[in-house]
Amino acid sequence: MSHTHPDPPNGSKKVPSTPVREREKLSEPQQIQPPEPQTSAKKPRPKIPKPVRILGAIALVAGVGYGIYRGFFYQPEPDGLFLSGRIEGREVDVSAKIGGKVAQVAVEEGEMVKPGQLLVLLNESELRAQLQGAAARVRAAQERMERSRQQIPVLQAQLEQANLTTEQATQESRGRVVEAENSLAAARAQQTEAQENLRLAQVRQKRTSFLYSQGVVSAQQRDEDNAALEVAKARVNAAQQQVQSAQGRLTQAQSALGNPSIRAAAAQQIERQIAQAHTDVSVAQQEVRDAQAAQAQIQANLDDLTVESPLAGNVMTRSVDPGEVVAAGEPLVTLVNLNNLYLRGFIPAGEIGKVKLGQPGLVYLDTFPNQPLEATVTRVDPKASFTPENTYFKEDRVTQVFGVELTLNNPQGLAKPGMPADGRILVPETQEEASSNPLRLPWD
């Protein structure tokens, strides 16, 4: 049992001291003895050096700061699979749809480009000439179509006139036939009358001749009857001629009835011309469409001579220079899409089973080690390969590995193709659970 002593006047407590020899004896169990009571002699308290006090204060402040950091700010690093590699991007080979001579290359390797920015311009003089020829063919086809259209109203007017003339001629011919028939009937009536008068004149002349021979009538009466007979004969002959003349007019009028059919044939010919004009218009319209299509094709080819950037990216390769002749589809400039960057690294074959598509991850750039970028596993190689030369593992130097790609969700303009980087694939911790219950199957 230790003895307590009253505090000295200066307020400090006196710490009992143990001689060296006694401490050595205490190290042996058989020599343990209770300490002898200390004498009441007072010794001065040793003074702590100033450097020690400063170091103690620094240690105290550091301890308090570390406690605050651990309590409020510290976040343990998530567990996961680590891989190293470099930032890569989806390369896009930009080419022209048609071949030609390079007139201008507007970008250099390493340059940043925007969507729609001019990359390469091909010589357009030849296509300009073709475009002018196509425009001339379009105008010629349009003129032919217009002429064909203008012929249609003229032919339609001619057709209307022909139809009207045919109708009028038909009516006139029918009128002439009726008139000729009436004239023929009148002439025949006159002929019948003249023949009857002739018969009477013959009878009278015969009677007068008989009576004259008997001396009953005078010679004058005989002569008069003979003259009347001759007149009657002349009238019969005249009536016959009138009948023949009326018959001729009737025949002529009847033949004129065929003229409308001839005029109708002319109208039909005009109708055929109108149909042909419509066909010519249709053909001319098709020629106009064909010429316009050829013109549009040449214009499209002319537009294709201007090669623009399809995306925002970085010029990785410039494959042509002004003056070179390139073929259709030949790569002119290779771009890297800066909005679709990924980290490609390798995972040992023994751990690839923990990696699945869609798992989250983090990518650490050497330039910004404290600003990790969120990423997602978007590719796992379907088969293993040997450890590449630029990948180093501490233990798995010659084992097989699987290539993995971590696509950056938002590059933020910090990542660039070719930059070295580290990645971490965040996987759920299932190893401890499996070790605590080794008999439990994965699907239990």
Domain boundary, last residue among 268, 287, 306: 287
- With b for 16 or more beta-carbon neighbours within 10 A and e for fewer, the 199-222 pattern comes to eebeebbeebeeebeeeebeeeeb
Please check whether residue 292 is in contact with residue 138, taking contact to mean a CB–CB distance below 8 angstroms: yes
Say yes or no: 254 and 134 in one domain.
Answer: yes
Say yes or no: 139 and 243 in one domain.
Answer: yes
Give CA–CA dist 428/68, Å, rounded.
29
Structural domain includes residue 381: yes
- The DSSP call for residue 3 is -
Say yes or no: 260 and 150 in one domain.
Answer: yes
pLDDT value at position 414?
82
Instruction: Report the domain count for the chain.
Output: 2
Q: In this structure, which long-range contacts are made by residues 264-271, counting pairs with CB atoms below 8 Å and at least 24 apart in sequence?
A: 264/166, 266/162, 267/159, 267/162, 267/163, 267/166, 270/155, 270/158, 270/159, 270/162, 271/159
pLDDT value at position 20?
37
- The DSSP call for residue 39 is P
Phi–psi pair at 409, nearest 5 degrees? -70, -35
Say yes or no: 363 and 384 in one domain.
Answer: yes
pLDDT in tens, 376-416: 999 999 888 776 555 555 554 546 888 999 999 877 778 88
- The DSSP call for residue 440 is S
Say yes or no: 135 and 253 in one domain.
Answer: yes
Q: Taking Cα atoms as reference points, which of 409, 413, 408, 426 lies closest to residue 86?
A: 408
Structural domain includes residue 388: yes
Give CA–CA dist 113/125, Å, rounded.
27
What string of H, E and C letters represents the secondary structure of 85-134? EEEEEEEEEEECCCCEEEEEECCCCCCEECCCCEEEEECCHHHHHHHHHH
Structural domain includes residue 346: yes
Say yes or no: 188 and 266 in one domain.
Answer: yes
- State the pairing for strand pair 313-318/331-348: antiparallel
Structural domain includes residue 276: yes
Q: Give the CATH number for residue 360.
A: 2.40.30.170
Name 408's bridge partners. Answer: 375
Tokens linked to 203: 């009878």
pTM of the full predicted structure?
0.45
Give CA–CA dist 151/407, Å, rounded.
70
Structural domain includes residue 52: no
pLDDT in tens, 97-137: 888 889 889 999 888 899 999 999 988 888 888 888 888 88
Say yes or no: 402 and 367 in one domain.
Answer: yes
Structural domain includes residue 154: yes
Say yes or no: 278 and 135 in one domain.
Answer: yes
Count Cβ atoms below 10 Å from residue 411 Cβ, excluding itself.
20
Reduced to 3 states (helix: H, G, I; strand: E, B; else coil), residue 293 is helix
Work out whether the CA dihedral 72, 74, 78, 83 comes out positive or negative. positive
- The DSSP call for residue 166 is H
Structural domain includes residue 365: yes
Structural domain includes residue 53: no
DSSP-assigned letters across all residues of 70-81: IIII--PPPPEE
Q: Give the CATH number for residue 211.
A: 1.10.287.950
Say yes or no: 174 and 116 in one domain.
Answer: no
- The DSSP call for residue 29 is G
Say yes or no: 96 and 174 in one domain.
Answer: no
Give CA–CA dist 175/301, Å, rounded.
73
Say yes or no: 358 and 233 in one domain.
Answer: no
pLDDT in tens, the chain (444 residues): 334 443 443 433 433 444 434 443 434 444 444 444 444 445 555 667 777 777 777 877 777 776 676 555 545 455 678 888 898 888 889 998 888 889 889 999 888 899 999 999 988 888 888 888 888 888 888 888 888 888 888 888 877 777 777 777 677 777 777 878 888 888 888 888 888 888 888 888 888 888 888 888 888 888 888 888 888 888 888 888 888 888 887 787 777 666 656 666 777 888 888 888 888 888 888 888 898 898 898 888 888 888 999 888 889 889 899 998 989 888 999 998 888 899 999 888 888 888 999 999 999 998 888 888 999 999 999 888 776 555 555 554 546 888 999 999 877 778 888 889 999 998 875 334 333 433 332 333
pLDDT value at position 2?
39
pLDDT value at position 364?
92
Say yes or no: 248 and 382 in one domain.
Answer: no
Please check whether residue 423 is in contact with residue 364, taking contact to mean a CB–CB distance below 8 angstroms: yes
CB proximity list for 282: less than 8 A, separation 6 or greater: none
Give one word for 11, left, alpha or beta, with left for phi > 0 and alpha for psi -120 to 50.
left
Its domain, for residue 389, covers 80-120+314-430
CA angle, residues 35, 40, 46, in degrees to nearest 5: 85
